[in-house]
Amino acid sequence: MGSGRGRWVTTAAVVVLLWVASEGAKYYSEDEEADRIVALPGQPKVSFQQFSGYVTVNKNAGRALFYWLTEAVHEPLLKPLVVWLNGGPGCSSVAYGASEEIGPFRLNKTGSELHMNKYSWNLAANILFLETPAGVGFSYTNRTADLHDTGDRRTAEDSLQFLIRWMERFTRYKEREIYLAGESYAGHYVPQLAREIKAYNAKAKHPINLKGLMVGNAVTDTYHDNLGTVTYWWSHAMISDRTYNTLIHTCKFHGEKESNSCEQHYTYALDQELGKIDQYNIYAPPCNNSDGATITQRSLRWPLRPKNMEFQQLSGYDPCTEKYAEIYYNRVDVQRALHANTTKIPYRWTACSETLNRNWNDSEASVLPVYKELISAGLRIWVFSGDVDSVVPVTATRFSLARLRLPTKIPWYPWYVNKQVGGWTEVYEGLTFATVRGAGHEVPLFKPRAALQLFRSFLSGKPLPRS
């Protein structure tokens, strides 16, 4: 394993790249070509390749998951594959991850044009957006009962089947380094899928080359998430001492049926004390919903965004982006370009499925045991947290991770991006934790430059920069 071998691999890869450049479409298989996106309506010219379509994960039920692959801008054959999952449960990776967070494009207000995201994560890797489970976004099932009986287990199993069958279609990714990433309820999806891959690899002739996972503002442990959320509300002066003390002393925080006192004071906090704010970023203006458009729920446990609020545009942040996604992805020409909705799904495309969210029937109380298993397997694990999110706040994540009792390798320090403090980080044995200063629930939406730095550091396996 000397340096000579490394030089040969690099040279060979460069030769392959040159061959691909000269051969063009001949490089891709017929199955890949069928999924190629020539151009999306309103899209600027790009230098990278895109593919999208369906992979059937259960023939008997007619379940098929939709994906959108945006290959790396530079040297895609030398870059890893990162699978991105959004949470909810029931929310679309196309609506959020691809369209307002880490994808290459941003939507305009009328849903008529796309413009480039200069901090897109496909600057560093090939990004595969997966809409899971069936019923999310363009993913579908022919068995209606599936929409009323789903949960963590089926999501993980179907997502694994998707990866196995997708790699049969895109064979050039079979040996590639794979990373899983996501946010919010993907704090369940990502480690659970990693566990499924680990079990599959133990028996597989051709194992999936999973190297690590990264989750942001992640639902992790029911008790500590709930305790951490109430603590965040109080520590940020969002609720009164009286309400906080009552919640602490009357709530179990285990996700089970709470006492009447707990329920009453929780409702009082939401209705009377928090006010009409965007709970996904407590310092950002909420979206004006006076036109009657629906602002969808993104978390299993917490309420809808507040309605009927006027807002001013601050720091380039637009709180209404999901509304633009619902305009754009319901266009027939957009669906045709994406090879989406080919079976004519009997409902409109939505950013989140309320049906799935309401009927989520199995949810692990804690994924901390899964983390322990994955740490033992030697996977790279990063957990990050935007520190102005009150839905899955930084206190919840810190309370949860503390239960792992991991030895500290590199003590707490500020990390930097563009000569400014991007957040704070601590490196443990088997896991890196980082905050992103001033970021809400969707970290790349609020702090795109810092999020890209975080992503690059994760892929390199190096601690975040101290200066």
* Least confident segment among 3-7, 80-84, 177-181, 275-279: 3-7
- Asked if 274 and 241 count as a contact pair (C-beta separation under 8 A), the reply is no
Tell me the pLDDT band of 288, cut-offs 50, 70 and 90. low
More confident residue, 7 or 149: 149
Q: Is the pLDDT of residue 25 over 90?
A: no
pLDDT confidence of residue 2: 39
Residue range 11-37: mean pLDDT, rounded: 61
Nearest 10 degrees: CA dihedral of 213, 216, 217, 220? Answer: 0
> pLDDT tens-digit profile of 309-358?
222 233 345 667 778 899 999 999 999 999 999 999 999 999 999 999 99
Q: Using alpha carbons, list the distances in angstroms from residue 285 to 32, 302, 310, 341, 422.
A: 42, 18, 8, 34, 22
d(CA 275, CA 356) in angstroms, rounded, equals 28
- Whether omega before 411 lies within 30 degrees of 0, making that bond cis, reads no
Supply angle C-alpha 326, 332, 338, rounded to 5: 85
pLDDT of residue 320: 73
H helix or E strand, kind and range, residue 182: strand 178-183
Residue 397 has pLDDT above 50, yes or no: yes
DSSP string, 106-126: EE-TTSS-EEE-TT-GGGTSE
Instruction: Tell me the pTM.
Output: 0.89
Burial degree of 270 (CB within 10 A; 0-12, 13-18, 19+): middle
Average pLDDT, the chain: 88
**Are 355 and 147 a contacting pair, CB within 8 Å?**
yes
Alpha-carbon gap, residue 105 to 113, rounded angstroms? 10
Residues 6+ apart with CB under 8 A from 353: 88, 90, 91, 135, 136, 147
Average pLDDT of span 67-71: 98
* Higher per-residue confidence, 90 vs 298: 90
Burial (CB < 10 A; 0-12, 13-18, 19+), residue 398, is middle
pLDDT score for 27 = 62
Is residue 12 pLDDT above 70, yes or no? Answer: no
More confident residue, 159 or 25: 159
Q: Which helix (H) or strand (E) holds 226?
A: helix 222-235
Tokens of 333: 């020409």
Catalytic residues: 184, 389, 441
